Amino acid sequence: MNPLINTHLSMLDLVAVREGGSVGEALAISLNTARHVEALGFTRYWLAEHHNMPGIASSATAVLVGHIAGGTSHIRVGSGGVMLPNHAPLVVAEAFGTLAELYPGRIDLGLGRAPGTDGETMRALRRDRIESEADFPRDVAELQRLLGPRQAEQRVVAVPGTGTSMPIWLLGSSLFSARLAAERGLPYAFASHFAPAMLLDAITLYRRNFRPSSQLDKPYVIIGVPLVAADTDDEAEFLASSVFQRVLGIVTGQRGKLPAPVADFMAKLRPHERSAIADFLGAAVIGGPARIREGLNALQQATAADEMMFVCDIFDPALRLRSLDIATAICRKE
């Protein structure tokens, strides 16, 4: 018996730029990965919006969604997510409405309320806009109106966009978006791939308060899962050192490109550095097949997630594909 057998699998790609590599190479790796997981039967492939980060090439998220959708045939492609504070809802509706017309039934619009960058870059994105807590729910509602059927009194229309009824997802790492997703009857994706602390509280609140809507009749939860699978535990720990190095750079404010793996990286760190990495990657599943099975089963039993979205940043692209193969075989084996 395998409790993962009914769990959908998906992928979140940060489009990592590797040390010694270029943005063009990162984009090519992303498309190749999308084609690979489509062949594995994954449900969706999402791209994350970040800005002013030298190691992440997914800033123009809508453009990249179109590129991936155009290079695949049936997998759903979307944003995980568009950071709504950076954009006017009308612009988002038009961009994703265009994608919905180009690739009918295949585009997801995931929305986050963080800027996905630093304060100075956020100001460069939206100039003099001052955010309040009420802005995100209001902007989500405006997007729902712009993407829904045109109303008789509606003067501002998204063309393309109106009438596409684009599936909207809310993303979050706290209780705020979980509560809003429940109130609006929207599917919810928790960012446990980098902020797992409130995972169980958020999805419990979401399910308890969910109100059915025209988009969704019952709660639907995706959880982010950092994944590094290999033939052995030791090899997986070695490959994961690329992620450990990047996380340390994030928590110390020294962001860079995805580094090559190094042996015994964690052993060389001070205790507080190891603790910070462990907190960041609290939902990570790293190891050989037996440890991967155990870790994914534990996550599924704890969360009853409808879908697991892997974040798999391995320096060698071929070993990244192998990691996804290993995890998929474990989840699909009866």
Average pLDDT, 10 consecutive residues per value, the chain (334 residues): 70 97 97 98 96 90 97 97 90 95 96 67 58 80 91 83 91 95 98 94 98 96 98 98 96 92 95 96 97 95 96 98 97 73
CB distance 214 to 167 below 8 Å: no
pLDDT for the residue numbered 149: 84
Q: How far is CA 259 from the centre of its chain?
A: 21
Q: Token pair 């919006």 is at which residue?
A: 49
Residue 295 makes CB contacts below 8 A (sequence gap 6+) with 285, 286, 287
pTM: 0.93
pLDDT for the residue numbered 158: 83
- CATH code at 8-332: 3.20.20.30
CA distance 325 to 229: 9
pLDDT for the residue numbered 133: 57
Residue 61 in 3-state DSSP? helix
Alpha-carbon distances of 13 from 30, 191, 197, rounded to whole Å? 7, 13, 21
Alpha-carbon distances of 179 from 19, 91, 215, 218, rounded to whole Å? 40, 26, 17, 14
pLDDT for the residue numbered 116: 45
Task: Report domain extents, the chain.
Answer: 8-332
Element (H, E) at 42: none
Tell me whether residue 208 is exposed, middle or buried, using C-beta atoms within 10 angstroms of its C-beta: 0 to 12, 13 to 18, 19 or more: exposed
pLDDT for the residue numbered 120: 59
Q: With the C-alpha atoms ordered 233, 237, 243, 247, is the resulting torsion angle positive or negative?
A: positive
Nearest to 169 by CA among 46, 313, 43, 75: 46
